[in-house]
Chain A
Amino acid sequence: MTWADTLLLLPELIAATGASILLIVPVLGGRARGHMAKWAMLALMAVTALAVIGSTYAVAGVQQTPTFRAMFAVDAFSVFFKLLFVVVIALVTLLSEDFLSEERYSTWEYYSLLAFALCGMMFMASGVSLITIYIGLELLALSSYILAGYYKNHEESTEAAMKYFILGTVSSAILLYGISLIYGVCGSMRLSTIAAALSTMLSNDALMFGIMLLAAGLCFKIAAVPFHVWTPDVYVGAPTPISAFLSTGSKAAAFAVFARVFYVAFPAFHLDWSNVLAAIAALSMIVGNLAAITQTNVKRMLAYSSISHAGYSLLGIIAMNEMGLRGILIYTMVYVFANLGIWATILMLRRHAYAGESVEDFRGLHKRAPFAAFSMVVFLLSLGGIPPTAGFIGKYFLFAAAVQAGFGWLAIVAVVMSAVSMFYYLRLVVAMYLEEGSGAETIYSPSLRFVTALSLTVTLVVGFIPELPIRQVIESSSHLVGRVVQR
């Protein structure tokens, strides 16, 4: 380890240090100044973002620069995700403002936990060794468990946290078991070494088990069927900003890991695992979308919708080609912004001074909050994959990748299920624009407005000028794709 190595770690160091400071502030007498916490957090995000950008200059380019005995790498792929994470956490910070002030919970600890989660996510994006990845994942998970139970006085929230924790530990155990099997066969945790070992191997049951257990563990994190059971309960029970975080940032991090591990380490056994993942993807799309149709609670509906989106994103991993990897990157980004925008709209609804969460609360929204209603339509169309929104571009990449890789049937399932999903997305549009009646009241704070506007901008810009993100994504993923070709 050298001084330069430490520099590469700067963003993570800043996030961790910042998180610790945020944790200490209330002890030093900052509790009274709760409203300062938001600005401290946003400042921390800004510095972290600068550090992330700075670290790319330190390594001069997009090539992978492994460090710490090849356990940690700064490359364009990780930078893409880290920037996305920082933005997500910053937006979640803005989303949390009203919730925290209304519920009078301690703000400094809350943000500290978010910052720790960010730190874990960044390690996940940069990890090139299974152990680094696992530790990052646990850091994220532990922070998330606590955040999911942050509504201390609400039974639902506590219950959600409990469920999330127990099932999360189970999945961690499964994941860890998979890692140990892989280590046992390959003798290494490093993704590149594993790939090299695999390329000389024929079939090996222990290894197959390892890969499958690892996949199962990751499927839990991205909430793919049949490892999705926790999702609806947790999304509904957790504080809404945290549901927003879980369905966007946390998922994006899991996809970063999924993509890197499978693209770098396991291309050699693509034929074997791709069919299993294809089944999981198909199940996720079908179950997620069908179950979403019958929901009346919007948070629960979004939970099922997020399950189906995990299915779409999996197409990019199954396809195992350039287009697939680019598809994952674009789709993750697109999905994250559309979702955050929707969560922002949900957060503005109040019914009897409590959060409005049912479809009925959206009735006639276009009269009370025309901008929010219009943005909501754009976000829903984006999730449904309708041009000219960003979602279309993302889905186009993923579906085309699947077709290229010979998974035509899966692409067909995906397209049909996208059509089905329009049913429940449009139901909200109908409620907002066509149905009269008493919906929920709205409190549209500047922070929520900002989140909506930013998400709307991204969703429309990516939809209208897809060249911009595509160029970025090609740069960010080319070095990983290079490995695919090499095998």
Chain B
Amino acid sequence: MLDKLWLIPLIPFAGFLLNGLFGKKIGNGLVTAVALAASGLTAMVSTLAVFQYLGAYPDHGRHLDRVYNWFTAGGIGTDVAFQLDPLSIVMLMVVTWVGFLIHLYSVGYMGEEDGYGRYFAYLNLFLSAMLILVLGSSYLFIFVGWEGVGLCSYLLIGFYYDRDYAAAAGKKAFIVNRIGDFGFLIAMFLMFNYAGTVDFAGVQSMAARGQLTPTVITAICLLLFLGACGKSAQIPLYIWLPDAMAGPTPVSALIHAATMVTAGVYMLVRSNLLYRMSPSAMMVVALIGGLTALFSATIAVAQNDIKKVLAYSTVSQLGFMFIGVGVGAFTSGIFHLVTHAFFKACLFLGAGSVIHAMGGEQDMRKMGGLRKKIPTTFWTFTVATIAISGFPPFAGFFSKDEILASAFATPYFPAVGKLVWLMGTVAAFFTAFYMFRLWYLTFTGDFRGTHEQEHHLHESPWTMTFPLQVLAVLSIIGGFIGLPQMLHTPVTNLLEHWMQPVIPEIEGIGKLIEIPVGTEATVALVSTLLAALAWYLARQRYRGRGLAADLATEQSHPGLVHTLENKYYVDEGYDATVVTPLRQLSIFSWKVIDGIIDGTLGLVGYTVAAIGDLLRFFQTGNVRNYALMLFGAVVILMWVFA
């Protein structure tokens, strides 16, 4: 299987083709079969490949499967090649198996929707592109996947294309991502120009041998991070992700929580050698991550749409991952990526189950007391809530604390590290608060919806609850792959050992973080206490009382609440400073510049047509004229030549 890695993205692509071309004809049953078979098969093939890898590479080196030379132009070129190494394997397992669970969940969730075949075709296409992104061996090749997932994201956000807000949200996601892609592209141009290659190993070895100047490395790192900011929704490009909730909920779980949005984190960890050589770029990453984590966590506190809360929560959690990467704790970034994939997918799918039960209602103000009606959703959601809030021993606790402790102990920029730690810790406090707010509003108290909705309440089918249960279990035990040093267990820091070949220690290049046990314990204690405090406050405010407390706050501090509700007016700010001027520019271009160009072009066209007519004049159809022209041409040739 190792020499057939290309099968892994190809299988879901085949599913895409089948469902995309024939989805309407073959009926929902076959569509389901094709989609599940494609995602399940690719997960199994991937797992098989991983086992073979473990056998073939006991030292966990880089396995390269070169399919063919994509292009060569002059001295530069790139291959279509897939690679398998510890980092790809972690991503591969998360993407394929979580992907499969969400495919399964979608069968129940999308069952009554129109465009069933279209939905699964897009979902399979997404899986295919994501797998290229994860398995590609060069920046350029993963860019194919990068753009592919972007396209699928666009298509799926705008899945309900007859609703204006969904179409607009899709467009917004696409355009904002283009800004990030531009950074990614320029970074690749720089690599081609200065390193002559875009292969991961090639670029990193050029950098390690000192053949790239620090300026170039910093530029590449910052531009790659710009790309990551687009895809992974960081300040200033995070604005598309909350709107992306217009898509079907399983899509939000798969693409906009568990997999695609973590692509930026993956790429930065992939480039860890470059980042370690440029502490200033790392500092930017850490600060942006910290800011995003804090900023969006505060917004989430004031949202009333259940999916919007989770969306801002995702932005915030992605910020945590970037803190990890930025302070040099690359493994903990990936660690949090994995645990987050579990508990956030569980939360989103749980929210989907709630929405399903409520007949499409997403407003938490109309929920309440759902605990008894949808018990499976309730307990899985509770588990995931505890996990994200950071209570030990659930998954989120370990990964988040490793990140915060690393920020505290980072050797790269100690002072800024402490600041980032502070931002992260406050963000973690808010995380616990808004999650329990959501939990209390949704599951406790009295039902606040209509009678019709209450009558309709029901637990979801097994295809939806089964993935929830699996993900809930993973949210409990997922953290054990990265147990901290201080616990002195025999399986300490499994993930870190596993990832070591990807993040090698090289003489003279960025040290790796070592966290003193004391720091680790203190940080863990502080954040656990804060999470507990947040839970207590949320319980006081919302338990069985609905939104009364929020309304009271709105009475006393209207400015604060409105600012948060309106997300600090960032969208409005962008509108005024970027969108409106751009629109004016485009109107100017359209009315004035275009007029000039059109006129010129019209003139050119007219001239060309005139020349054409002139040429036609020579095409008399008279063979004597032709012969004469032939002779004339030969004579002119002789004359010119001799």
How many of B's residues come within 8 Å of A, CB to CB?
31
- Count contacts between A and B, CB distance < 8 Å: 77
Q: How far apart are the CA atoms of A167 and B629 in the complex, in Å?
A: 10
In chain A, residues 152-207, which have Cβ atoms closer than 8 Å to a Cβ of chain B?
162-163, 166-167, 170-171, 174, 205
A466 & B642 in contact (Cβ 8 Å cutoff):
no
Contact stretch, chosen from B51-59, B223-231, B256-264, B630-638: B630-638
Q: How far apart are the CA atoms of A273 and B611 in the complex, in Å?
A: 28
In chain B, residues 612-632, which have Cβ atoms closer than 8 Å to a Cβ of chain A?
612-613, 615-616, 618-619, 621, 623, 625-627, 629-632
Q: How far apart are the CA atoms of A230 and B630 in the complex, in Å?
A: 10
Partner of A212, one of B616, B625, B637: B637
A167 & B68 in contact (Cβ 8 Å cutoff):
no
B621 — which chain A residues lie within 8 A by C-beta? 233
Q: Closest approach, in angstroms, between the C-beta of B627 and any C-beta of chain A? A: 6
A467 & B626 in contact (Cβ 8 Å cutoff):
no
B609 at the interface (CB under 8 A from A): yes
B608 — which chain A residues lie within 8 A by C-beta? 290, 293, 420
Q: How far apart are the CA atoms of A3 and B618 in the complex, in Å?
A: 54
A450 at the interface (CB under 8 A from B): no
A232 at the interface (CB under 8 A from B): yes
A162 — which chain B residues lie within 8 A by C-beta? 623
B68 & A229 in contact (Cβ 8 Å cutoff):
no
B640 at the interface (CB under 8 A from A): yes
A 289-331 to B, binary, CB cutoff 8 A, 1 in contact else 0: 0110110000000000000000000000000000000000000
B627 & A167 in contact (Cβ 8 Å cutoff):
yes
A171 & B630 in contact (Cβ 8 Å cutoff):
yes
A19 — which chain B residues lie within 8 A by C-beta? none
B638 & A166 in contact (Cβ 8 Å cutoff):
no
Which residue of chain B has its CB nearest to the CB of A166?
B623
B631 — which chain A residues lie within 8 A by C-beta? 170
A218 at the interface (CB under 8 A from B): no
A170 — which chain B residues lie within 8 A by C-beta? 627, 630-631
Secondary structure of the A side of the interface? Answer: helix
A276 at the interface (CB under 8 A from B): yes
A396 — which chain B residues lie within 8 A by C-beta? 73
A226 & B642 in contact (Cβ 8 Å cutoff):
no
B71 & A226 in contact (Cβ 8 Å cutoff):
no
B642 — which chain A residues lie within 8 A by C-beta? 205, 208-209
B629 & A294 in contact (Cβ 8 Å cutoff):
no
Q: Of A166, A213, A291, which is in contact with the most chain B CB atoms at under 10 Å from its CB?
A: A291
A290 & B634 in contact (Cβ 8 Å cutoff):
no
Q: Closest approach, in angstroms, between the C-beta of B80 and any C-beta of chain A? A: 9
B640 — which chain A residues lie within 8 A by C-beta? 276, 279
A465 at the interface (CB under 8 A from B): yes
A348 at the interface (CB under 8 A from B): no
Which residue of chain A has its CB nearest to the CB of B615?
A291
B623 & A465 in contact (Cβ 8 Å cutoff):
no
Q: Closest approach, in angstroms, between the C-beta of A205 and any C-beta of chain B? A: 6
Q: Closest approach, in angstroms, between the C-beta of B589 and any C-beta of chain A? A: 21
Partner of A229, one of B73, B612, B630: B630
B69 at the interface (CB under 8 A from A): yes
In chain A, residues 326-359, which have Cβ atoms closer than 8 Å to a Cβ of chain B?
none
Name B's A-contacting residues (CB within 8 A).
Answer: 68-69, 71-73, 608-609, 611-613, 615-616, 618-619, 621, 623, 625-627, 629-634, 636-638, 640-642
Q: List 28 A-B contacts (CB under 8 A).
A: A162-B623, A163-B626, A166-B623, A167-B623, A167-B630, A171-B630, A174-B630, A208-B642, A209-B638, A209-B641, A209-B642, A216-B633, A216-B634, A226-B630, A226-B632, A226-B636, A227-B633, A229-B626, A233-B619, A272-B641, A276-B637, A276-B641, A279-B640, A290-B612, A291-B612, A291-B615, A294-B613, A467-B69
Supply 14 further A-B pairs (C-beta < 8 A) apart from A163-B626, A216-B637, A276-B641: A208-B641, A209-B641, A212-B637, A212-B641, A226-B636, A227-B630, A229-B619, A230-B626, A232-B619, A279-B640, A291-B612, A293-B612, A465-B68, A467-B68
Name A's B-contacting residues (CB within 8 A).
Answer: 162-163, 166-167, 170-171, 174, 205, 208-209, 212-213, 215-216, 220, 226-227, 229-230, 232-233, 272-273, 276, 279, 287, 290-291, 293-294, 396, 420, 465-467
Shortest 5 CB-CB contacts between residues of A and residues of B = A294-B612, A226-B633, A229-B626, A291-B615, A467-B69
